[in-house]
């Protein structure tokens, strides 16, 4: 497949993983990297790299258009929520293709509380969640969640589990939210409180076009990068994950897309966790971009999801026998400053001598 791509965030872990996946799944790609930080950009593995103004600078889009035209880019792939949000604004014209969900879908999914309300109103499993209108409202919310031993407190926008913590008492939530308000400038109204989901933790990446599911894959998070230093003990970034076959997860994610947009297009990354009854519940959907650990979905199974995305985005034909590529028996291991390792179960002890006995 010959194509010229521009990928933002060049040099970051997420973009480096994506470029690795694309090179593994597609021949003859020419990849251009772009970033607003020259230090990250210096680490980029792209074929050519461009330093752009910051996304919030008025010269960002004029500079981006010049690069797209100069490099004859076929497809632009954003890698952050902020870039996705900026690219779907009305009237945004670029000399290349984009393959993103509609603006209304992006706006809805980037507000976790609004997404939760939509899903629950359509019967899609999601945790019971309430917005915090102020510190004085926390006791009332805890009474509503009295059947749950723990409550999940988090900020309704953003990624990386920012501001997330499990609490048992209203006073714990009140102190935590007051701290974020005073020290980080995040007001109480930015938080939600929801039922704590105690079960297995899943990630699902899915590719849709015009309301048709093209390809989807699932994995289970087993441990978390930096989890030990987080108050919650967990993170949205897995340190150890394994590929799994979970039809229930696919059913929930498919129902969620139907509830959002009957003509959905683009890539959707779902976070789910089982409730006390073992039902997978959606906690958030990251739209228009790939998971930072995309290799677990691209370097396993019959089909490379990232490479398939490029083919679909460019209008190329793809022939897949099944939408769900359930590649069981692989583990993905991630750590700071190392390449993500993706191993089959039977490879885990290659070049290892067991000296435990």
The CATH number, out of the four listed (3.30.70.120, 3.30.470.20, 1.10.10.10, 3.40.50.300), of the domain defined by the range 201-347 = 3.30.470.20
> Residue 341: is its pLDDT beyond 80?
yes
- Predicted pLDDT of residue 229: 61
Could you count the other beta carbons within 10 Å of the beta carbon of residue 22? 23
Q: Strand 266-274 vs strand 201-209: parallel, antiparallel, or unpaired?
A: antiparallel
**Domain range annotation of the chain:** 3-98, 128-195, 201-347
pLDDT in tens, 122-171: 999 999 999 999 999 999 999 999 999 999 999 999 877 788 999 999 99
Res 228 pLDDT > 80: no
Of 324, 319, 167, which is closest to residue 244 (Cα–Cα)? 324
- Summarised one tens digit per residue, pLDDT across range 171-207 is 999 999 999 999 999 999 999 999 999 999 999 999 9
Find all residues with CB under 8 Å of 220, minimum gap 6, and list them: 200, 201, 202, 203, 241, 242, 244, 246
Residue 87 CA, chain-centre distance (Å), reads 17
Q: Nearest to residue 128, comparing CAs of 203, 176, 202, 192?
A: 192
pLDDT at residue 150, as a whole number: 95
CA separation for the pair 16, 296 (Å, rounded): 14
CATH 3.20.20.70, applies to 128-195: no
| Same fold yes or no, 3-98 and 128-195 | no
DSSP code at position 145: T
Q: What is the pLDDT of residues 278-321, one digit of tens each?
A: 999 999 999 999 999 999 999 999 999 999 999 999 999 898 88
Architecture of domain 3-98: 3-Layer(aba) Sandwich (3.40)
Mean pLDDT score across all residues of the chain: 94
């Amino acid at each position: 497949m010959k194509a010229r791509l521009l990928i933002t965030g060049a040099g970051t872990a997420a973009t480096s993983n994506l470029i690795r996946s694309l090179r593994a799944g597609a021949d003859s790609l020419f990849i251009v990297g772009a970033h607003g930080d020259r230090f990250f950009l210096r680490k980029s593995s792209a074929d050519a790299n461009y330093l752009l103004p910051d996304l919030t600078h008025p010269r960002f889009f004029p500079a981006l258009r010049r690069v797209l035209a100069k490099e004859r880019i076929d497809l632009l792939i954003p890698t952050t929520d902020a870039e996705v949000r900026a690219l779907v604004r009305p009237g945004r014209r670029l000399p290349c293709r984009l393959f993103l969900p509609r603006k209304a879908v992006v706006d809805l999914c980037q507000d976790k509380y609004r997404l939760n309300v939509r899903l629950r109103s359509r019967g899609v499993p999601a945790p019971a969640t309430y917005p915090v209108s102020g510190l004085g409202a926390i006791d009332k919310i805890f009474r509503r969640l009295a059947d749950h031993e723990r409550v999940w407190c988090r900020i309704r926008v953003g990624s990386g589990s920012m501001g997330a913590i499990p609490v048992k008492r209203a006073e714990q939530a009140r102190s935590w939210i007051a701290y974020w308000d005073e020290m980080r400038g995040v007001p109480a109204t930015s938080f939600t409180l929801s039922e704590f989901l105690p079960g297995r933790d899943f990630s699902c990446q899915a590719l849709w076009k015009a309301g048709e599911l093209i390809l989807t894959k699932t994995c289970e998070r087993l441990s978390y990068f930096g989890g030990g230093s987080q108050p919650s003990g967990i993170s949205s970034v897995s340190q150890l994950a394994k590929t799994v076959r979970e039809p229930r997860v696919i059913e929930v994610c498919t129902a969620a897309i139907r509830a959002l947009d009957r003509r959905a297009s683009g890539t959707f990354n779902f976070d789910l966790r089982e409730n006390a009854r073992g039902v997978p519940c959606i906690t958030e959907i990251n739209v228009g971009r790939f998971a930072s650990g995309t290799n677990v979905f691209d370097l396993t199974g019959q089909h490379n999801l990232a490479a398939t995305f490029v083919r679909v985005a460019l209008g190329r034909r793809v022939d897949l026998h099944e939408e769900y590529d359930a590649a069981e028996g692989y583990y993905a291991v991630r750590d700071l400053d190392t390449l993500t390792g993706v191993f089959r179960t039977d490879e885990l002890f290659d070049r290892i001598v067991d000296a435990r006995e």
